[in-house]
Amino acid sequence: QIVDRHETDSNSEGGKMEKKRKKKKICFESAELSKVVEEEQVKKLVKEAWSQRSPYSQGDLELDCQPFPHCIIRNFLSSETFVENLQKELLGLNFHEKSNDLYKFKQSDDLKKRTEPHIAGLRAALFGPFLDISCAKYEHTDILLCHDDELEGRRVAFILYLVPPWQSSDGGTLDLYTTDSNFQPKSILKSLVPSLNTLVLFEVSPVSFHQVSEVLTQDKCRLSLSGWFHGPSLERSPRHIEPPVPRNPHLPRDETLLLEWINPVYLDIAYQEQVQGEFEDSSEIQLKDFLKEEKFREVSEVLRLNQIQWTKRGPPNKRCYEVASLDTLPQCVSACWELLHSEAFFLLLSNFTGLQLHYLCPADDDDDDDDDEDEKEGNQDKEEKEDVKDVQATGSLTETSETTNEKKELSTPVCSAELRRWSHGSYTLLHDGEAARAEYALDLILPFGCADWQSEYGGFTCYVANEEDEEVNIDHMYPEDNCLALVYRDKETLKFVKHVNQKSSSDSTCRAFYDYSFVYYE
Ligand SMILES: *[C@@H]1O[C@H](CO)[C@@H](O)[C@H](O)[C@H]1NC(C)=O
């Protein structure tokens, strides 16, 4: 089908285009395609193989259906001079830096309007004026992370590589993923190394997960043309919904824990009020030197020991980083975990933020806290029971705004928590599931081991506003040793952690940093 489409494009549409263009006095070089895509017999066999999901190869053309159907055509344009000139014209275009959770690369001006003879020639001969087509430049540390390309109408994706001699150690491979029973990407089955004048086509479907791996070469440019052939979308089953991350109420620990761990500055009531004022103005605050110096150092050192078992969290279309297995935490690391989980800390956070993270904290209009202590003792038992109930309630996925509001009156504050390790290749992505489930929450991040971490390595947290399908960057939080970051986010705010690139490990040692990541819910 795809090859048919080519033929139609180059024979009829392309032909018409040529005449039209000539009328407008735009001259272009006509592009001749490899013989193999013009042969009727090959077309027929490719079509058959593609629909039966079986492999096929003929000369420069190779069709493979694992992990999903894709086709590689080498020496796609028959004239080397044409390829060279095309490359030159493309490199002469304006490129714009593109960067978000999913990618970092440079994209050219819109190719539809370009009048350079070889660009216009290729467009006319091959793709016609009605297709998405753009030119991308991937240089050192550029990347396009795992995604499926699915968008209304996209049926077949194509990429034409215009690269200098390239090896897999240069990075920038097109990696194709297998999927699990939930149609989630699992592992890379095939990596295609880009090569000059090779065209790759693949079917866009719920399982067509792929990535452009990070470009590792410092001095070569991975230039490519890419786009989609459009057609009716495939039926798809609803997207998989992940089980929610468990949430727990505070642990019953008193203020001695705070005195033991936290820089006394932050326990001063007047200072807490000042922090709260600032937090209420900007919904975020960074508290430097948060832990006592010796505590911070102790935890930093122990985190680097090999005692902790780290487990990779996926799937790759959503995240890639490591989390600590709690039962392997050394004493001081787990004590710090307990601190952030403790009743006393929930109270401290309430003071910092004005949020009600404890039933004892006054609501804005209620400042009667004379008999705190009695109340605390008396309610302890009852509270524990409610906690259990509430965890179950928040564990369910269906939340209309009404039930959330109703629940709020009764709810016990809870938190979810992870101790994470970030190193070359780590990231998190925004994704549909997360957007649907966004809710009011207080994020806490406490980083360790990032003394010489540079922002250009990635690993920073980006907050974006999710406004009518458009994502607007609203904030960056760069990891900083012993600096407690608090961010209050609303239902429209999503976050991701920028891909940690090769610059983080350029001097042959792989750098890593760690953070406690807690999310608190009122
Ligand atoms: C929070 O503030 C109240 C006074 O506003 C104070 O009594 C209490 O000790 C503070 N809590 C913490 C954990 O610092």
Centre of ligand 1 to C-alpha 443, Å, is 21
Tokens of 233: 């979308």
Do 307 and 225 fall within a single domain?
Answer: no
Q: Where would I find the beta strands (DSSP E) of 274-398?
A: 284-287, 310-313, 319-324
Do 290 and 201 fall within a single domain?
Answer: no
Residue 7 in any domain: the answer is no
Residues 423 and 510: their CA atoms lie apart, in Å, by: 7
Q: Is pLDDT above 60 for 127?
A: yes
Residues 85 and 91: their CA atoms lie apart, in Å, by: 10
Tokens of 425: 């290749």
Residue 16 in any domain: the answer is no
Residue 240 in any domain: the answer is no
Residues 449 and 297: their CA atoms lie apart, in Å, by: 9
pLDDT of residue 422: 98
Residue 349 in any domain: the answer is yes
Residues 74 and 197: their CA atoms lie apart, in Å, by: 6
Do 151 and 265 fall within a single domain?
Answer: no
24-28, 50-54, 110-114, 363-367: least confident range: 363-367
Centre of ligand 1 to C-alpha 411, Å, is 21
Residue 417 in any domain: the answer is yes
Region class of 340: left (phi > 0), else alpha (psi between -120 and 50), else beta: alpha
Do 210 and 324 fall within a single domain?
Answer: no
Name the residue with the closest Cα to ligand 1, atom 13. Answer: 348
DSSP-derived secondary structure letter, 74? S
Tokens of 168: 């897999």
Backbone phi and psi for residue 130, each to the nearest 5 degrees, phi listed first: -100, 10
Centre of ligand 1 to C-alpha 348, Å, is 7
What Å distances lie between residue 414 and 359, 389, 393, CA to CA?
Answer: 12, 12, 11
Centre of ligand 1 to C-alpha 267, Å, is 8
Residue 12 identity (one-letter amino acid): S
Ligand 1, atom nearest to 350 Cα: 1
Centre of ligand 1 to C-alpha 385, Å, is 25
Q: What is the pLDDT of residues 159-204, one digit of tens each?
A: 999 999 999 999 999 999 999 999 999 999 999 999 999 999 999 9
Residues 488 and 505: their CA atoms lie apart, in Å, by: 32
Mean pLDDT of the chain: 85
Q: Is pLDDT above 60 for 309?
A: yes
Strand 470-477 relative to strand 461-467, pairing? antiparallel
Instruction: Report residues whose beta carbon is within 6 angstroms of any ligand 1 atom.
Output: 255, 258, 267, 269, 344, 347-348, 351
pLDDT of residue 131: 67
Do 215 and 303 fall within a single domain?
Answer: no
Name the residue with the closest Cα to ligand 1, atom 2. Answer: 351
Do 117 and 263 fall within a single domain?
Answer: no
pLDDT range class, residue 228, cuts 50, 70, 90? confident
Do 299 and 340 fall within a single domain?
Answer: yes
- CATH, residue 451: 2.60.120.620
Strand 56-58 relative to strand 103-108, pairing? unpaired
Among 3-7, 373-377, 412-416, name the most confident range.
Answer: 412-416
What Å distances lie between residue 255 and 134, 342, 394, CA to CA?
Answer: 59, 9, 28
Ligand 1, atom nearest to 348 Cα: 13
Contact 465, 493 (CB under 8 A): yes
Centre of ligand 1 to C-alpha 248, Å, is 22
Q: Is pLDDT above 90 for 220?
A: yes
Q: What 3-state DSSP class applies to 176?
A: strand
What is the total count of domains within the chain? 2
Residue 19 in any domain: the answer is no
Do 206 and 355 fall within a single domain?
Answer: no
Do 500 and 451 fall within a single domain?
Answer: yes
Residue 453 in any domain: the answer is yes
Domain range for 182 is 25-230
Do 82 and 116 fall within a single domain?
Answer: yes
Residue at which a domain ends, from 215, 230, 245: 230
Smallest CA-to-CA distance from 462 within 422, 496, 431 is with 496
Average pLDDT over residues 129-142: 86
What Å distances lie between residue 56 and 39, 180, 190, 210, CA to CA?
Answer: 15, 25, 17, 21
Average pLDDT over residues 387-406: 40
Residue 464 in any domain: the answer is yes
Do 181 and 293 fall within a single domain?
Answer: no
Do 306 and 408 fall within a single domain?
Answer: yes
Please give the model's pTM, rounded to 2 decimal places: 0.84
